[in-house]
Structure 1
Amino acid sequence: MSQDHNGDLSQFSMQELFRMEADAQTVILTDGLLAMERHGGDAGAVEAMMRAAHSIKGAAAIVGLDVVVQLAHGMEDAFVAAQNGKLKLTPNRVDVLLAGVDLILQVSRLDDNGVTPWLAANGTLIQQTMDSIGTIAFLSEPLDSYSPPPPPPPQSQPAAAAVPAPAIPTPADVAALLAEPEEAVAVPGARGMAPMKSAQNFDRLLSLASESRINAHQMHPFLQAMQRFKRNQASLFTVIEQLHEAVSGTADASLKEKSLLALQKAQPLKQFVLEQITDFENWERRLLTVSQNMVDEVLALRMRPFRDGVQHFPRMVRDLARSLGKDVQLRIDGEDTLVDRDILAKIESPLNHMLRNAIDHGMEPPAERLALGKPACGSIVLEARHRAGMLSIEISDDGRGVDLEKIRRTVVERKMASAAMAAAMSQAELLEFLFLPAFSLKENTTEISGRGVGLDIVHDVMRQQNGTVRLESEQGVGFRSYITLPLTQSIVRALVVDIKGEAYAVPIVKVERVIKVAQADIHTLENKQFFEHGGEHLGLVSAAQVLELGDSSATGAELPVVLIGSGARRYAMVVDAIRGEQSLAVQAIDPIFGKMRDISAAALLDDGEPVLILDVPDLLLSIDKLLHEGGLHQLARGAGGEKRRMKRILVVDDSLTVREMERKLLVGRGFDVDIAIDGIDGWNVVRSGEYDLVITDVDMPRMDGIELVNLIKKDLHLHKLPVMIVSYKDRPEDRARGMAAGADYYLTKGSFHDETLLDAVADLIGDAHK
């Protein structure tokens, strides 16, 4: 019986109690049948199935479901025959018994008013199933080789038996009934409302437990105040003692007596304060322990064993494999691993996608596997473990794996990358393409389809749950998926930061690291600010600007920075201050606000201050948008406004190769070089800083070099800035046009060598140092 109903059952009707019984017993029947099919005679499994069928038969008789009584009785007879060695549970026979299990489960889910019409509408299928179970001993098939049945026909045309006997409904026939519209399979309100009410109760309990923990933490400032009072009191007592010593040397007896009395009155106060502080410290410790235990116990109510979300997968794998003419076995390890029930519900569909893809795309038919030297039966392992405070799920199969070269070709064919780029991609980079929507390697689309269908959903769901998914493949050997998720979404370990005077939290799993960046280390490249870290350039963005709170309030020689994202979407987010890590009890934002951009939830800090939890995937999208629009604010400029030691040059050219060549030449000579990618970008950059020289191309998109020279020479503040044109155009009229616009030097790309450019720069502005 389900753990949710271990208490008082008087609130449930007999029909609801029968449903609970059927839910539990059909799991035993399904698991037992799969084990018997795979491993042969197992007396323990047969005994358990006999008890389960007998329990269902008795419960069905009480609620007057004669159909279920007959189904369970027929299954019980089959198990007795199997126990006595008179019946071997071959795949075809297991098909029939599983169809019976599905019908029992389906009938149990009907309400009182829905039973009669449903039985009437599905009478033919029910009778065929009952007849097939009754004649199960006559269903034979070769035991020395695997011969899968044909794919299941549509629901309106039940499958025919392999021998002259009533038609055998396949598990797919009955499973189709499970997907009927809600009105056809009505569920009593109590069943549907119970989980919702349970979830509401849990949220309320967690909120109260969290408030209790916050109240316990609020004792600490009071204790600190008491400690300060004790120190002040100690200073006062010292003064009283010194005063008493001074008075003792006088001849005034009355003054001596009063001084001694004051000293005697002070001593008990000292001891009283010490005792009170000790009592308060003990009280705080007990309160913190109890409140934390309350939070832990409430969270434990949310946890469910991994098996609760995956117990139907072995049956699904078996049925799908048989429908595709394959033989596949699923093994689940770590069934007792505890997982938050919400996470378990969210990941059930993605895991289903991955298993179906493994069977359809990854697994070879039995004959092909035997030819390759593999067992005829394919193997999939689904494992769940707790690792480093996270839930780790691994799915591995021994199928054909993924053809990396096929991915490479597909990427090029779809113009997602050039042939050269695709050739240089690693296995991990190629497998990332499988997470793109509709990226499938199968030529023919089916209902199950290829490895790519559903993996974009997997990726999105895992990201929404603050998790990650990683793929590995070895062609001809197998395929592995590694999923990492938080153990619970109710408590999140977060980095708390200040942005514009308010507290915000970033989930720790989304933070790569926290560093301090000196303002002097910040450079500008193509009108974007960056700094070097670990051998790479990291772009800087203002958290205040991304959240539309205004300009950053971060000041000082060093900026506090939080690294988020990965790969090309990896950014350094500047905040005002870093407070530190805290474990936060997540509280959903009222639905009236809808989905708030860049915000996922809310919480209370240990001191009771409210905090918004940032949605990092949303943040990355917002940063991308700002970058695309070119709207990032400047956070710092070089060495904090101090006079620069090196002369500064702006290189403007739409050719990446030319830009980089010129930059390297100039940096090598000691100049400080910034880059712009066209005339418009160059015009924006040159106005935002103090430069000693501009080097520009002529032919560029949006604004050419001649127009840029014109704007610079006509600007009140920039007209004295030297400008050099470097162009492939070497006709006299081109040179004349450039010089007429106001250029100070004209150099052709086709004629200059390294020293030619550097000599021209030296002619205009001298050496690199001011």
Structure 2
Amino acid sequence: MDADMHAEDSKRQLMGLFLGEIQERTRDLERNLLAIEPTTNAAARLELLKALLRTTHSLKGAAGLMEVRPIETACHWMEELFSSALRDGRRLDRRQIGMLLETIDALAEYGRVLDRGEKDSCDAPEERLHRLAESIRTNVDVAFKSRKDGSTGHPPALRAGDDAGPSPPGYNVADATTQRRVVRSTDLDGSVQVAAEKLDSLLFRSGELLISRSLGRTRVDQTASLQELTKSLRRQASNAFGNRPPVLPRTQLPNLRQKDEILVDLENGLRKLKQDLADDSRILERAAASLADGLHRARMQPFAQACRGLARIVRDMSADQGKLAELAVEGGGIEIDRSILGGLQDSLRHLVRNAVDHGLETPEDRAARNKPAAGRIVIAAVLRGDQLQVRVEDDGGGIDVVSLREHAPDKDGPGAQDEEELLRRVFLPGVSTSPTVTRLSGRGMGLDIVKNAVEKLRGTVQVAHTPGKGTAFTLTLPLTVTTIRALLIVAGDQIFALDPISSKKLLRVSREELRSVSGRAFIPYDGRTIPVLDLAGWLGMSTRKRMPSAGSIVVIVIGTAGREAALLVDEVAGEQELLIRALGPRLEKLRIFSGGAILPDGQIALVLNAAALLENATGRNLGRDLPPFEQAERPQARKRILIVDDSPTVRALEKIMLEAAGYQVSTASDGSEAWDVLQTEGADAVIADVDMPRMDGFMFAQTIRQSQHFSNLPIILVTAREEPQDKTRGLEVGANAYLLKSTFDQQQLLELIRQVL
């Protein structure tokens, strides 16, 4: 019984390896067949033929071992055809390559049916394989009859139980023996196949470690607060008695000394606990960061994998339509997260089909326009900072703007007559410039699918064209959709996350700057006016009834150059590294959100889809419900805070927070510039980073303390440096407080400012 179960397990494992090999080998065969067709170099063609022969021979041997006769027979006749071409020095013609590609499709389909365990469904794929194998056999027979040596013999047919046959030229016998064990060289080269679901699961577990890391920092700060409280209690007791002995009965003095000793012990114990927690937190942080980095690298795959099968699509579609086309892929070695890769594949297929069907002309039309007979489609991937930009470009006739104007719905009014706005309509569902509907195009759904897929990846897609010269679609995507350094914003008492890639600028806008046009709210920006979208009001959430008494609002500018909108929020809560999770099938159709994340404090932050927000801000009347301003008197003498940081984002974020709290704010990018600002404008307190060019935060604090005029100026250092010696040095050079950016909290900063002032 146990032996039978073991045999069944072994058989299942072997079959799993074999099914994986079918998919791997058929991909290799398709790639090399598509490469051999346009190749004119004889040596390169010879090497491709040898590669095809080796791959086919290997798959035939594995199929024979697993007794999958339909695949074994088809591979046998493919191998004979490749051998014949290799021996006779012949080129495979276009008809033969088409037949071989169809056979490869049938092999892959048969493998998928076996993988699903649908034995009853094997008849149709098996019949297709048999028919194609017979067609290949006929080609092999013709090749044998036409050989120059006059031989009329037929190659032997493969019978069940026969050996896989003689090794092809360039094939190692040892490799054949290895293949009989269904073990490939890649199984022995130090690599191992891991299910994608397992990697995803590990990644999310590592995300929980990152949350635990943040909680560890919080515990360190809480312990430090208790230590400071204990120290404060001792100081208060000491100050109450001064140098005079307390007026207490002699019998109570020992009790008082004992309590003082308890406070000393408590303070020392808290100091040691804080240090131990800080050490443990750093160990956890290093381990979590290392694990997350390793998992991210394990998920990275070359961009070329997203382009698999595209050459086949170009070949088949161009042949069906009587066109000539070639495909080029640039930047195939760029590594991107597998989640981005998976989302890109379908979009690239639609764009390539669109290029062949709508973009490229027939050879006759291209000749009339002095173009080469073969059209060219280029897919180019480049890295732009922390973004991936993919451009799909063809050298066809461009977009038929006249036809697009006729077919696209005119729901956006007169502004849609602008060509840039008109081109964006190609992404609307049901819009197509094709006069006919075919199996693959004409229904106006392909580009809508592309747009939705890209937005799910928190990306954007744009289109441009030059009449008579071609069309280009540009997809801009993050390098990963699993983790982001998100901007946390609050609207209607709910916290949301916004990808910094989507946000261009943080602004505080006064009520005088708000303009109303036909009931819609606008603000001036970069010499133009852009619409305002009240996030809380648009989502139907409870929002503030009146604007802040300071008479200003916080907005985040989103969008691309020339097409921006201002997102109205209640406050900006800071930045946080988040692990993004999918929302699940029930919420996946909500375009406004692209995911969700759990914050260190347990709150859930929904990730906003900036593209959907922009669409609604520019396409709907969303300005009427902006709440009015409070009619309150402004503070007569507001304190001035000087913010010093080399990061424009941090400066803008802190400036908005402090202005919302009623402070006047000046900014500088380093200590040297800040010293000049201090001399001319003065300040009531300074908030400074440590790592800055020219003059860092330590030197700036020391300069302030050594000056006669500003020696008592409150200084708060807000930095990413977490080592105890850095904090000690900051306090030694004269800082009143030392805050970590990793645990930055708006309320904590405002409370510290209140205390030091």
So what's the TM-score if we normalise by structure 1? 0.63
TM-fit CA distance, 1:456: 2.6
**Corresponding residue to 2:397 among 401, 404, 412:** 401
User: Structure 2 regions of 5+ residues with no counterpart?
Assistant: 1-8, 147-193, 246-250, 635-757
TM-fit CA distance, 1:492: 3.6
**Corresponding residue to 2:216 among 215, 219, 242:** 219
Distance in 2 (CA, whole Å) between partners of 1:357 and 1:569 is 26
TM-fit CA distance, 1:54: 0.8
Per-residue CA distance 1:433-458 (angstroms, 9 max, x = gap): 33233433344443344696622322
1:98 corresponds to:
101
User: Over aligned residues, Cα RMSD in angstroms?
Assistant: 4.5
1:134 aligns with 2:140: yes
Distance in 2 (CA, whole Å) between partners of 1:392 and 1:336 is 14
Distance 1:290 1:264, change over 3 A: same
TM-fit CA distance, 1:244: 12
1:305 aligns with 2:302: yes
Distance in 1 (CA, whole Å) between partners of 2:108 and 2:145 is 24
Larger Rg: 1
Distance 1:534 1:74, change over 3 A: same
1:605 corresponds to:
599
DSSP 3-state at the match of 2:506: strand
1:432 aligns with 2:432: no
The answer (yes or no) to whether the contact 1:326–1:366 under 8 Å persists in 2 is yes
2:83 corresponds to:
80
DSSP 3-state at the match of 1:607: coil
DSSP 3-state at the match of 2:347: helix
The answer (yes or no) to whether the contact 1:247–1:255 under 8 Å persists in 2 is no
TM-fit CA distance, 1:539: 3.6
1:459 corresponds to:
451
Distance in 1 (CA, whole Å) between partners of 2:138 and 2:391 is 39
Distance in 1 (CA, whole Å) between partners of 2:452 and 2:346 is 12
TM-fit CA distance, 1:35: 1.7
1:469 corresponds to:
461
TM-fit CA distance, 1:577: 1.2
2:523 corresponds to:
531
The answer (yes or no) to whether the contact 2:532–2:617 under 8 Å persists in 1 is no
1:31 corresponds to:
31
Distance 1:133 1:21, change over 3 A: farther
TM-fit CA distance, 1:229: 4.5
Distance in 2 (CA, whole Å) between partners of 1:303 and 1:414 is 39
Per-residue CA distance 1:251-285 (angstroms, 9 max, x = gap): xxx99999999999999987766555444323222
Per-residue CA distance 1:42-74 (angstroms, 9 max, x = gap): 243222212101101111111223333332222
**Corresponding residue to 2:514 among 516, 522, 540:** 522
1:573 aligns with 2:567: yes
1:154 corresponds to:
none
Amino acid at match of 1:19: L
Distance in 2 (CA, whole Å) between partners of 1:408 and 1:371 is 21
1:21 corresponds to:
21
Amino acid at match of 1:609: Q
Per-residue CA distance 1:116-135 (angstroms, 9 max, x = gap): 63367447733542334424
Distance 1:219 1:64, change over 3 A: closer
Distance 1:69 1:115, change over 3 A: farther
DSSP 3-state at the match of 2:281: helix
1:633 aligns with 2:625: yes
1:3 corresponds to:
none
DSSP 3-state at the match of 1:12: helix
The answer (yes or no) to whether the contact 1:53–1:76 under 8 Å persists in 2 is yes
DSSP 3-state at the match of 1:89: coil
Per-residue CA distance 1:684-740 (angstroms, 9 max, x = gap): xxxxxxxxxxxxxxxxxxxxxxxxxxxxxxxxxxxxxxxxxxxxxxxxxxxxxxxxx
1:490 aligns with 2:509: no
Distance 1:334 1:11, change over 3 A: farther
Per-residue CA distance 1:98-138 (angstroms, 9 max, x = gap): 23323332333333734763367447733542334424638
Identity %: 26
Distance 1:597 1:125, change over 3 A: closer
Distance in 1 (CA, whole Å) between partners of 2:610 and 2:493 is 20
Amino acid at match of 2:81: A
Amino acid at match of 1:497: I
Amino acid at match of 2:304: R
Distance in 1 (CA, whole Å) between partners of 2:343 and 2:365 is 36
Amino acid at match of 2:69: D
Distance in 2 (CA, whole Å) between partners of 1:446 and 1:139 is 42
DSSP 3-state at the match of 2:438: coil
Distance in 2 (CA, whole Å) between partners of 1:307 and 1:286 is 38
Per-residue CA distance 1:398-417 (angstroms, 9 max, x = gap): x32315xx414652687849
Distance in 2 (CA, whole Å) between partners of 1:116 and 1:593 is 37
2:124 corresponds to:
118
**Corresponding residue to 2:548 among 544, 547, 555:** 555
Distance in 2 (CA, whole Å) between partners of 1:347 and 1:95 is 27
The answer (yes or no) to whether the contact 1:395–1:480 under 8 Å persists in 2 is yes
Distance 1:259 1:614, change over 3 A: closer
Distance in 1 (CA, whole Å) between partners of 2:321 and 2:93 is 18
DSSP 3-state at the match of 1:584: strand
Amino acid at match of 2:99: V
The answer (yes or no) to whether the contact 1:412–1:419 under 8 Å persists in 2 is no
